[in-house]
Amino acid sequence: MKKQATKIIFAFVLLSAMLVSAACSGSYDAMDGYYTNGSPLAGEMLGENGETYTEIIENKFVLTTEQDSSYFSIDANTAAYPNLRSLIKNGYNIPKDAVRVEEMLNYFDYDYATPEDGSVLALTSSVFDTPYNSQTKLLTIGLAAQAVEFTSVKNNLVFLIDVSGSMFSADKLGLVQSAFMMLAENLNPEDRVSIVTYAGSEGIALEGAFGYEKQKITAIIEDLAAGGSTAGSEGIKTAYSLAEKYFIEGGNNRVILATDGDFNVGITNVDALKELISEKRESGVYFSVFGVGRGNLKSETMETLALNGNGTYSYIDSQTEARRALVTQIGGSMVTVAKDVKAGITFNPEYVESYRLIGYENKLLTEDQFNDETTDAGELGSGHTVTVVYEIKLTEKAREAQENLAQVVIKYKPTENVSSENTNETLTLDIKTSAYHETPTETDSFVAGVVEFALLLRESEYKGDADFDKLIAGLDKLDLSQDPYKEEFRQLVKDYVTKKSTVSE
């Protein structure tokens, strides 16, 4: 009885501290589950208070007579969009390097053709007029991954949770606790779960529990408290050792890191962390990263960890986003179906004068890297869709029907989670002039809207005659009623413009 009373008092104190922290750093909107401070665009540039983003130098137009092929690594990272949503809702100015157009595009689901006859991936394409540049077209390439039920996969998961002092707020540790408790509720009875925490030093809070021990798992998560510095690298090593100890052959073996990005003790150099994770991925244990909170986000570090650990990098800004990532779309977050996914697009110089890859700037590959089977590239999860967009300028000859504008080649390795006897596979698609839509489809128009918003936020030299009024008018023509996330995007654009106008007045 005394122990139970102590636990109740502890829970009350923890809740009170979280509420105080929320009151100091922002408020919680119970209607949509987001943490906001309510000051429209009044925040400082986040790069000045501890947050850093990988520098993005936009891809330029390339003449096909000089270079007719483009190569890059593909993944389904989505962190940039919920992070951007958080910045807008919290009223911050938008650092241009926080605007990653491919991660914004890949956040949403599209009606792309799905894999058939046991295939792991499927390709589609579309060509339509660029809404912000009358001289060019947008070429979109849609890639859809096979869907695998999370319940059909045996899981060995290690929750690696940052409990350092910087995590002491409701939108950080409090949100992580909620997210992992949601995940725990979806575990299969025979799944294995371990929990590693790290602050001044790492600690094992739970080792090798079974999925049916949900009360035990959630009780430990609930009891976590923040304090101390951040020994991230030691926590990673411990997490890997537990994942290897309870390794499930043919299963989903994964370390899941949740952090605000603050690594200030142990290995803090990005290259050293990359080397550590690269060595560990050979064990067959994947590594996913969930970022939370404001103030310490280290985009390059967190993305590097995920990419080199054969995992994905996501950002959780709300209870709603936690539920989306770890409940409704848990297969995509937790079950990898294709690894080392690489794309090569070769344009026909007779019909395409020049091209520009929109996004994927830090994922470019050389032709040799594309053809090298040992090149480490991105991963795709169950049911993921990926969108690639090129802005292209056509020649006069391109008006001839059925001519080949380009060929897409996707190289990848199926994982143990899908039925395929091949260790390396290639998927190709010829894009003909018949792919052109004089009237863009709903998907075309939405994709163009996301691209246009990104270009405007970045104040890109390639934004043409894009402006917010025309962007909103275009989005208002779309029927997004069946997709709450796309509907939310439309409202987010409007909210940003309203707040921007309020500040300028």
Least confident of 58-72, 394-408, 415-429: 415-429
Which sign does the torsion angle of CA 297, 300, 303, 309 carry? negative
Q: Does residue 5 form part of some domain? A: no
Range in 246-255, 264-273, 336-345, 358-367 the model is least confident about: 264-273
Quick one: pLDDT band at residue 20, thresholds 50, 70, 90? Answer: very low
pLDDT of residue 23 exceeding 70, the answer is: no
Nearest-5° angle of CA 184, CA 187, CA 189?
125
Same domain, 280 and 350: no
- 47 within a domain of the structure (yes/no): no
What's the domain count of the chain? Answer: 2
So what's the pLDDT on residue 165? Answer: 84
Model confidence at 282: pLDDT above 90? no
**H-assigned helices in 80-231:** 80-89, 101-105, 175-185, 214-222
Taking alpha carbons only, the member of 41, 38, 94, 88 closest to residue 500 is 41
Torsion of CA 199, 11, 83, 257, to 10 degrees: 40
Max intra-chain CA distance, the chain = 83
On the 0-12 / 13-18 / 19+ scale of CB atoms within 10 A, 478 is middle
* Domain boundary residue, one of 281, 312, 334: 334
Using one digit for the tens of pLDDT, what is the confidence trace for 217-235? 999 999 988 765 555 567 8
Q: Which domain range does residue 193 map to?
A: 150-334
Q: What is the pLDDT of residue 233?
A: 67
Query: Above 60 in pLDDT, residue 462?
Result: yes
Distance CA 143, CA 115 (A): 9
Q: Which residues pair with 387 in a beta bridge?
A: 142
Q: Are 254 and 334 in contact (CB under 8 A)?
A: yes
On the 0-12 / 13-18 / 19+ scale of CB atoms within 10 A, 492 is: middle
Tell me the three state secondary structure of residue 443: helix
Q: Are residues 234 and 373 in the same domain?
A: no
Give which of 189, 168, 292, 288 is closest to 236, Cα–Cα. 288
Nearby residues of 68 by Cβ (< 8 Å), 6 or more positions away:
346, 347, 348, 349
Residue type, 119: S
Q: In what order do the strands lie in the sheet with 313-316?
A: 202-210, 192-198, 155-162, 252-259, 286-292, 313-316
Q: What span, in angstroms and rounded, lies between the C-alpha atoms of 127 and 131?
A: 12
Shared-domain flag, residues 168 and 312: yes
pLDDT tens figures, 90-141: 888 899 999 999 999 999 999 899 998 888 999 999 999 999 999 999 999 9
CATH number at residue 180: 3.40.50.410
* Backbone φ, ψ for residue 145 (5° rounding): -100, 150
- Rounded average pLDDT over 52-58: 90
Burial code of 168-178, b = ≥16 C-beta within 10 A, e = fewer?
bbbbbbbbbbb
Residue where a domain stops, chosen among 314, 334, 354: 334
Are residues 315 and 248 part of one domain? yes
Q: Of 313, 334, 355, which closes a domain?
A: 334
pTM of the model: 0.86
Residue 8 in any domain: the answer is no
Tell me if 23 is assigned to some domain: no
Question: Do both 364 and 243 map to the same domain?
Answer: no
In the chain, how many H helices and how many E strands? 14, 19
The answer to whether residue 53 sits within a structural domain is no
What is the average pLDDT across 466-491?
Answer: 96
What number of other Cβ atoms are within 10 A of residue 91's Cβ? 18
* Cα–chain center distance at 246: 27
Q: Is the same domain home to 373 and 397?
A: yes
- Whether residues 139 and 202 fall in one domain: no
Considering the domain boundaries, does residue 31 fall inside one?
no
- pLDDT for the residue 389: 98
- Model pLDDT, residue 28: 39
pLDDT class for 24, splitting at 50, 70, 90? very low
Residue 431: exposure state from Cβ atoms within 10 A (0-12, 13-18, ≥19): buried
Q: What is the pLDDT of residues 389-414, one digit of tens each?
A: 999 999 988 877 678 999 999 999 98
Q: Looking at residue 431, which CATH number applies to its domain?
A: 2.60.40.1230
Instruction: Give domain status of residue 287, yes or no.
Output: yes
Q: Are residues 173 and 318 in the same domain?
A: yes
Residue 295 confidence (pLDDT): 79
Q: Verify that 343 and 273 share a domain, yes or no.
A: no
User: Based on the domain organization, do 222 and 192 belong to the same domain?
Assistant: yes
DSSP 8-state class, residue 149: -
202 neighbors 164 (Cβ within 8 angstroms):
no
Question: Is residue 74 within 8 Å of residue 124, measured between CB atoms?
Answer: no
Mean pLDDT of the chain: 84
Position 40 in a domain: no
The C-alpha atoms of residue 64 and residue 398 are separated, in whole angstroms, by: 14
> Long-range contacts made by residues 235-238, C-beta under 8 angstroms, separation at least 24?
235/160, 235/162, 235/196, 235/197, 235/198, 235/202, 236/160, 236/273, 236/276, 236/277, 236/280, 237/202, 237/276, 238/196, 238/198, 238/202, 238/204
- Kindly state the helix (H) or strand (E) to which residue 188 belongs, with its residue range: none
386 and 495 part of one domain: yes
pLDDT value of position 471: 97
Question: Are residues 154 and 219 located together in one domain of the fold?
Answer: yes
